[in-house]
Structure 1
Amino acid sequence: MELLTEELKKLLISGGAHVSVKDAIADIPFELLGERPYGLPYSIWQLVEHIRIAQWDMLEFSKDGNHKSPKWPDEYWPKENAPADKNSWDKTVKQIDDDLKAFIELVEQRDLYEPIPHGSGQNILREALQIADHNAYHTAEIIVIRRLLGIWK
């Protein structure tokens, strides 16, 4: 079990074979966060805010039987292309990191296979894999946008 826990932590933090969310969003010029190149339907801001909302929802679902998920899909995606200000961006980035750390605490402390009492068969292992998969998917989209904007290494 310890090996699985350590592998999950690595997958959630560093992305494993993929770029981490943290690395994908580092050093993006603020004025480019709302750009939607080549008619793409979303901006970097919208993707990052979506990652924040979805990850927060999975964390809260995993620990709180009274949690109410946002309405899909409207409340999982921001309407605006760009953050209102630098503080909004910083707050979103910080919450992604804080929520990920809180979820990793659940991975370390809970039985990964025990069904979540208020769920319909979900467990911490499933939620960890879902967070990792979801974040990797949207991280790849962020990197594509960065490449299109000429701001990826």
Structure 2
Amino acid sequence: MPSNFFEGGLHGENSHADPLEVFEGLQWNTAGVKPANCPYSVWQVLNHMIFWQDFYLTYLKGSVPVHPEHDEDSWPVAIAPTNETEWSDAIVQFSKGLQEAENEAKKDLNEMKDAKLERTRGVILATLMTHNSYHTGQVALIRRIIGAWPPPSW
């Protein structure tokens, strides 16, 4: 697959929203609102996305990340950021991770990065991309439920 597939996919294409845009304009104190009957707040989803994005980037950079014992361990306990700086720092961290993934997409996608699991760089990038896309949809839905949709640029 050409790297532009991944570069475009990492920022949403066609029916997929850009994972950066979905957080745009959301205030830090609203990011921690957890609607009734909803398992997570936007803050929790963002931090879960950061966890797995960093996990897959570790593979792409040539190291083997430590997998959590249980997948629920990749979800933060805190429902909300404590202040605006914590919120904006998390957005910056997520954004930097996306940029790193874009840089990784420019390398040989057929290179084996996990021989034990038989995963190539392209497979790892596709996993990261689809994981972000899935949770981007969750963020959009949560924002709609709490009345904080759409982002300003939409």
Whether TM exceeds 0.5 here: the answer is yes
Q: Which residue of 1 aligns with 2:137?
A: 140
CA displacement 1:82-131 (0-9 Å, x = unmatched):
0122222112111111111112212112x211211565211111111111
Aligned residues: 149
Which residue identity does 2:127 align to in structure 1?
Answer: Q
> Partner letter of residue 77 of structure 1?
W
Instruction: Please identify which structure carries the higher helix content.
Output: 1
The residue that corresponds to 1:115 in the other structure is 112
Name the Cα RMSD after superposition.
Answer: 1.6
Cα separation, 1, equivalents of 2:69 and 2:41: 21
Secondary structure at 2:79 match in 1: coil
Residues 72-87 of structure 1: matches in 2 within 5 Å? Answer: 72-87=70-85
For 1:94, the aligned partner's letter is V
Verify the 8 A CA contact 2:29 2:81 in the aligned structure 1: no
The answer for unaligned runs of 5 or more in structure 2 is none
CA distance in 1, matches of 2:146, 2:8: 29
Q: Percent identity?
A: 24
- Aligned pair partner of 2:47 in 27, 30, 49: 49
Structure 2 length as normaliser, TM-score? 0.88
CA deviation after TM superposition for structure 1 residue 35, in Å: 1.1
Q: Which amino acid aligns with 1:63?
A: K
Query: Given the two structures, how large is their TM-score scaled by the length of structure 1?
Result: 0.89
**Matches of 1:19 and 1:66, distance apart in 2:** 30
Deviation at 1:79, TM superposition (A): 0.2
Which of these residues, 8, 12, 15, is aligned with residue 15 of structure 1? 12
CA distance in 2, matches of 1:130, 1:66: 16
Answer whether contact 1:114 1:123 (CA < 8 A) is retained: yes
Unaligned runs of 5+ in 1: none
Please report how far the alpha carbon of residue 31 of structure 1 lies from its aligned counterpart in structure 2 after TM superposition: 1.5
Counterpart code for 2:47: E
C-alpha contact (below 8 Å) 1:24/1:142 kept by paired residues: yes
CA positional deviation for 1:34: 1.2
Opposite residue 95 of structure 1, the aligned amino acid is Q
Query: Does the C-alpha gap of structure 1 residues 64 and 39 become closer, same or farther in structure 2, counting only changes over 3 Å?
Result: same
